[in-house]
Structure 1
Amino acid sequence: MRITNTATFARSVAALQDRHSELADLQDHLNAQKRVLRASDDPVAAARAERAQAQIARSDAQQRAVDASRNAMSQTESTLSDAIDLMQDARETLVQAGNGALGDSERANIGNKLQGLRDQLLALANREDGAGNYFFGGQGSSAPPFVNGPAGVAFRGTAGTQTGADGGEGLALTVDGQGAWLQAPDGNGLFKASNTNSTTAWSDGGHVTNPAAFFAATSPPAVADPSALRYEVKFSGTAGDMSYTVLKNGEAMDAPKPWTGTSTSGGRAVEFDGMSFAIGGAPADGNVFEVRLSQPKQSVFDTLDRAIAALKTPNRGSAQVQQTVQEGMAGLDGSLTALGSLRSRAGESLNHADAAEERNASLKLQGQEARSQAVDLDPYQALSEFQLKNTGYEAALKTYSMVQRLSIFNYIGG
């Protein structure tokens, strides 16, 4: 078979071009440090890399949600800390008002101080993150969620919480402030003792002395409707010969008892059904003190508004002032407990965000490792292959140069 010089040269040039193309392609992979630059390089590995990249992108998106939640809950926790400090200041200020040596003007000044603390609390309840999101606005509010009105402070937000998605988990962006600021359990959290008509005696917040007896007497089936349960402590008689009767939903629980007892908290204790509260001062004939189970309607603003109005009212007796102080402290204590619980939930949300961040970091690392395994280049192997191909290319060049000299004219010339 006759082979022409032209065909030989063409084949040599084609072989050189192929080797040069392979060498250039390997050079591109070395420069990029990638084994797979195009899907055609390795379709299976390219698909794996795409899935890994999608996992990395999801992790990045979830991390943005984590960062947003952490920022919101950090500011919420800080705001609640400030609110608790203000309420503790208000409580200490209210205790000062119970000093019997103070006159009307001094108590009015204390009322003015409480008004300032109350206004600061309202500003904290309406604090926003700078982007129009209110920390205590629930599921969202385009305006401050807590609004002053004729009946006091009302909630204008949407109940619930706003969350950001994190792989199916909810990361809090806001909290439902209505429950903590306006709907804390009143009284001592279990029952509320109140003075209905006495101007010469007062009652404290009381406490449960026997939990078993308390819950047995105030829970179903002993009581069909606990919210309707009412106790009354009615006084009758004259000074020095006073007695009281305890009624449960209008029926006397026992015979009248003389007004004697153990002195507690500046008063004398009245005990029944596992409950105890102190009555101080001098109860008069016809005075009634009521006890009912706590209800979720304690507003810190209403508590302060009542105390402020009472302290600014002149010519009030010592027992009336003490009643104002006792009711104010009980209300603040209930709201402090509610805000403290809300602060704990904000702390739990921060812990949740930290755990979510760790999970996202782990998932992102897995994605990065999977992508690396699919497309990254082994530099030592690639360099060895490059050197091998380069040697082959140089050999091909030498072969081509030798083929070019295979001409009869070279021999004639010799």
Structure 2
Amino acid sequence: MRLATANTYDNTLANITNRQAGLADLQEKLSAGKKVVRPSDDPTGAAQAERALTRSTRVDVEVRALNLQRNSVAMAEGTLGNSIELLQTIRQLMVSAGDAAYNPSDRRSIAEEMAGLRDQLFTYANKKDTNGIPLFSGLGSASQPFVDVPAGVVYNGIPGSRASTAVSIPGTMDGQAVWMSVPTGNGVFNMALGGTNTGELWTDVGQIADPSLLTGNNYTVTFNVSATVPPVTTYDVSMTTVVLPITTTPVLTAQPYTDGQDIAFDGLTFVARGVPANGDTVNVTPSTRDDLFALLDQAITAISGAGNGHQLAQDLSLALSQIDSGMERVQSARSQAGELLKRADIIEGTQEEKSIQLAADRSRAEDMDMIKGISEFQNQQTGYDAALKTYAQIQRLSLFNYLG
């Protein structure tokens, strides 16, 4: 078979050019550390790497959002802790206000100090995070959630809280649940002295003796003092229904009374103290919900205007019970914030594992095995050098070298 010299040169040059292009391509990949520099290198690998990159970017965005949420919840948790300390200080002031050695002026001073602490608590409730979002705005509101108006504190947030997801936690807490939903009385029923009482009578906040017997109705305990010498005091208990039709029925009649005794009926009990006058009453009503600020205002008003006596004892007993309920609400919210922070740590750990996995997936799809790549580069370079030498030798050959 006859081979033209020109054809041989063309084939050799094409081979050298291909080797040179392959060597340049491999050198580019080695420099980048990637086996897929452009999609055409490996369409499947490029698609896998792109998917991993997209998912990794989304994870990074979710982690940044989680960090913002965690910072807000951590700030809320700290604020709730400060609020508990402040409420404990107010409680201590309430206890000291019951000291018989204090006169009305002393109690007014205590009430003024309590009022200042109450205002500080109101400031805590309206605290914002570093982005200016109120910590206790509930489902979200950039406006101040709590507003102090003449009629009392109004909540302008959106009650409720968002649920945690697989990648996030709520960044705000439900201010309605924390500050505006404190049980009155002992949490089940309220004790109140009759407005026209003239004797020296007061009670504790009462307790539940048998939950199964509670009716949720209103009761009036009426004291009767005989005109005999010595006088004999008895009491009657009547129940008034809270649903239609409104009816009043006797529960107990002509029960003997002594100072400090327990009065029990329909699953509840309370201690009555002092010397009631004829016709004095104690009203028992179902507990309701009120905001913590209103309950503090009631206590401040009672302490600032009271002297030594039965009404002060009654008011302080109620105030102490209600501030304890308020602290329980705040502590419950603080515990919830702590759980959210734990949840955030778990989510962060999961996201970190996901990021590592995605980085590994992307690396497998596009990164080059450098040892293998260098070895291949050396082999191709050796082949390229051999092709150049062969071409140079062939180029020097001529038929005239063999004619003599």
TM-score (norm 2): 0.91
Q: Is 1:248 the equivalent of 2:239?
A: yes
Query: Where do residues 5-404 of structure 1 align in structure 2 (5 Å cutoff)?
Result: 5-161=5-161, 166-167=165-166, 171-197=169-195, 198=197, 200-209=200-209, 213-214=210-211, 216-218=212-214, 223=215, 226=216, 229-238=217-226, 240-249=231-240, 250-260=248-258, 267-295=260-288, 297-313=289-305, 316-404=307-395
1:127–1:371 Cα change, 3 Å? same
**1:409 deviation in Å?**
5.7
Amino acid at match of 2:93: T
**What do residues 338-380 of structure 1 show as CA deviations (whole Å, max 9, x unaligned)?**
1111111111211221121122122222211211221121122
Aligned equivalents of 1:63 and 1:326: distance in 2?
A: 49
Aligned equivalents of 2:329 and 2:191: distance in 1?
A: 19
Contact 2:66/2:168 (CA < 8 Å) preserved in 1?
A: no
SS at 2:142 equivalent: coil
Report how many aligned residue pairs link the two structures. Answer: 392
SS at 1:253 equivalent: strand
Q: For structure 1, which segment, 85-94 or 381-390, has the greater mean C-alpha deviation from structure 2 after superposition?
A: 381-390
SS at 2:187 equivalent: coil
Amino acid at match of 2:322: G
Aligned equivalents of 2:110 and 2:273: distance in 1?
A: 23
Q: Which residue of 2 aligns with 1:264?
A: none
Aligned equivalents of 2:347 and 2:7: distance in 1?
A: 68
* Uncovered stretches (5+) of structure 1, i.e. residues with no partner: 262-266
Aligned equivalents of 1:289 and 1:201: distance in 2?
A: 9
**1:317 deviation in Å?**
4.3
1:166–1:34 Cα change, 3 Å? farther
**1:410 deviation in Å?**
5.4
Aligned equivalents of 2:138 and 2:298: distance in 1?
A: 27
**What do residues 321-347 of structure 1 show as CA deviations (whole Å, max 9, x unaligned)?**
112211211111111111111111111
Aligned equivalents of 1:110 and 1:349: distance in 2?
A: 37
SS at 1:256 equivalent: strand
Amino acid at match of 1:173: G
Aligned equivalents of 2:100 and 2:120: distance in 1?
A: 28
Contact 2:179/2:330 (CA < 8 Å) preserved in 1?
A: yes
* Uncovered stretches (5+) of structure 2, i.e. residues with no partner: 241-247
Contact 1:53/1:371 (CA < 8 Å) preserved in 2?
A: yes
1:57–1:248 Cα change, 3 Å? same
**What do residues 246-265 of structure 1 show as CA deviations (whole Å, max 9, x unaligned)?**
2222322123211137xxxx
**What do residues 172-196 of structure 1 show as CA deviations (whole Å, max 9, x unaligned)?**
1111111221112222222222223
Aligned equivalents of 2:27 and 2:394: distance in 1?
A: 28
Contact 1:161/1:173 (CA < 8 Å) preserved in 2?
A: no
Aligned equivalents of 2:153 and 2:328: distance in 1?
A: 19
SS at 2:144 equivalent: coil
SS at 2:361 equivalent: helix
Q: For structure 1, which segment, 348-357 or 245-254, has the greater mean C-alpha deviation from structure 2 after superposition?
A: 245-254
SS at 1:254 equivalent: strand
Amino acid at match of 2:185: G
**What do residues 184-231 of structure 1 show as CA deviations (whole Å, max 9, x unaligned)?**
22222222222233462222222223xxx32x223xxxx5xx4xx112
1:402–1:240 Cα change, 3 Å? farther
Q: Which residue of 1 aligns with 2:398?
A: 407
Contact 2:157/2:175 (CA < 8 Å) preserved in 1?
A: no
Q: For structure 1, which segment, 112-121 or 43-52, has the greater mean C-alpha deviation from structure 2 after superposition?
A: 43-52
SS at 2:253 equivalent: coil
RMSD: 2.1
Contact 2:137/2:145 (CA < 8 Å) preserved in 1?
A: yes
Contact 1:193/1:203 (CA < 8 Å) preserved in 2?
A: yes
Aligned equivalents of 1:37 and 1:378: distance in 2?
A: 14
Contact 2:145/2:155 (CA < 8 Å) preserved in 1?
A: yes
Q: For structure 1, which segment, 5-14 or 403-412, has the greater mean C-alpha deviation from structure 2 after superposition?
A: 403-412
Q: Which residue of 1 aligns with 2:245?
A: none
Contact 1:34/1:376 (CA < 8 Å) preserved in 2?
A: yes
